[in-house]
Amino acid sequence: MRRVPSGIAPILAIDKKDPRSLYKQIYDGYRKAIVDGALGAGQRVPSTRVLAVEAGISRIPVLSAYAQLLAEGYFESHVGSGTIVSRSLPHRAAAPSPALNPLKDAEGAGGRPISKRGSLIPRAGDPYHRSQLVPFGLGQIAFEHFPLQVWNRLVTRRSRTLSAGSLSYGDPMGWKGLRETIAAHLRAARGVRCEADQIMIVSGSQQGLEITARVLFDPGNRVWMEEPGYNFARNVFAFHGCQVISVPVDSEGLSVAAGVKRARNARAALVTPSHQYPLGVTMSASRRLQLLDWAKSHGSWIIEDDYDSEYRYEGNPVTSLQGLDRTSRVIYIGTFSKVLFPSLRLGYVVVPADLIERFLAARFIMEISPATFHQTVLADFIREGHFSRHIRRMRLIYGERRSALIESLRSNLGEAAEVAGAEAGMHLSAIVKGISDREVAQRAASQGLSLTPLSPFYASEPPQQGFILGFSNTSVEEIPAAVRRLRLALRC
């Protein structure tokens, strides 16, 4: 006989001292859960036998309650399929928790205070971010070109060889096999000076930034940040009580001279030297050496976020800033979200040797160790050559899309849009004067475009107006029509 899976019961406060009968308590509990939306139409409920055993009562009151709920249309039952909440009932959302006033709560009103640091956390979400795969979206890869069959085969192979020992906690630094593979790749492809023992596996560059901030910063520390710059990083620094010093970016990258003038003794500087986010500038050799000299002479740190350096379309590959460092002042952060796929949630930090214990201590506060399974799959993917082949292939595909976007922008917008940062990466910037990029982005969203306005990435006034346009998830054939829709949004 086919076994019907048991369902989920709502929390039934069955009290044998309650003046109500057990039947009435069960009936009231289910009816309230359905009316309040805690149980939805079609959701399976436990059998009468299972519920009676779990509640420690006779089956008779349970049978009586179920019979009443069936008679009133709250339940429906089919032979061999068990009992479910009636599918004919309208959908009812669960009642929300009482709303809190963030500002009052931060001040401790109503007996529900939060910390001062908690009040610094910005609201999650970005009104311009769209998770749908629409033209110009940021952080979206060409999913249709990912070697999914290869990945699935590696996942299956690792699944079949799982041992009981692999189910325990892993190494807090990350699986040794992956760290060795990453170290070898970084030395060869990015010129990074590192050993496997310096690699810490994280869930992405954002977690890498968070752990780094916990180790390096005290409240009140000043931190240089590129202007315009990566807002999620700005939020991390603000949360830790740092004073963010905006340092302008020009055609050579972050202006070290301007940084020294604004905060000579800053604790650290965050830079994206291979492909500045969001303008796309590549930091010049002169600026790199100036920045390293500043860090050495002032005992400061440099955080290098190398988020999409694998893709370069003009000139020779640019090696990492960390590879020029001879005094171990650079913390190097990388991620696989852009080169493989975002939901993988794997990145890494190259930690200076004398900070490894401190980074481990910070890691233990957040989590004991990263999940191991996909680390083993990723290590196989890299070691067997699939990673390098995938990068080479995607570099050609993204290069074609990037060229198509530049050509379409020039033919449709002409001199109205200044294209910047197109030499590398998965996005470029289009600077457009005389508009409100936020308003245009909102209009464009209704036309199926994901425009990220440039102005919110500036901390000072007046910001440049324009857009950060991703081209990695839009085919060459789709780009001309998408740019024409962009032109219409600009003219509204």
Domain positions in the chain: 22-85, 164-384
Strand duo 452-453 + 466-470: pairing:
antiparallel
What does DSSP say about strands 417-420 and 427-432: parallel, antiparallel, or unpaired? antiparallel
Q: Which residue has the higher pLDDT, 199 or 98?
A: 199
Q: How far apart are the first and last CA of the chain?
A: 66
| Residue 358 reports pLDDT greater than 80 | yes
What's the pLDDT tens digit per position in 370-429? 999 999 999 999 999 999 999 999 999 999 999 999 999 999 999 999 999 888 899 999
- Summary mean pLDDT of the chain: 89
Measured distance CA(64)–CA(271) in Å, rounded = 69
Quote the pTM value: 0.81
State the fold for domain 164-384. Answer: Aspartate Aminotransferase; domain 2 (3.40.640)
Burial class (CB in 10 A: 0-12, 13-18, 19+), 10: middle
Confidence grade of residue 158 (pLDDT, cut at 50, 70, 90)? very high
Q: Percent of the chain beyond pLDDT 90? A: 66
- In 3D, which of 331, 246, 323, 315 has the Cα closest to residue 289? 323
Tens digits of per-residue pLDDT, 13-56?
Answer: 788 888 889 889 999 988 988 888 888 888 888 888 888 888 88
| Residues pairing with 305 in the sheet | 333
Query: H-type helices in 87-147, by residue range?
Result: 102-106, 116-119
Q: Which pLDDT score, from 0 to 100, does residue 78 have?
A: 82
Mean pLDDT of 327-353: 95
Per-residue pLDDT reduced to its tens digit, 221-254: 999 999 999 988 999 999 999 999 999 999 999 9
User: What tokens appear for 439 in the block?
Assistant: 């308003």
pLDDT at 105 over 50: no
22-85 CATH fold: Arc Repressor Mutant, subunit A (1.10.10)
Among candidate residues 288, 282, 341, 269, the one with its CA nearest the CA of residue 314: 282
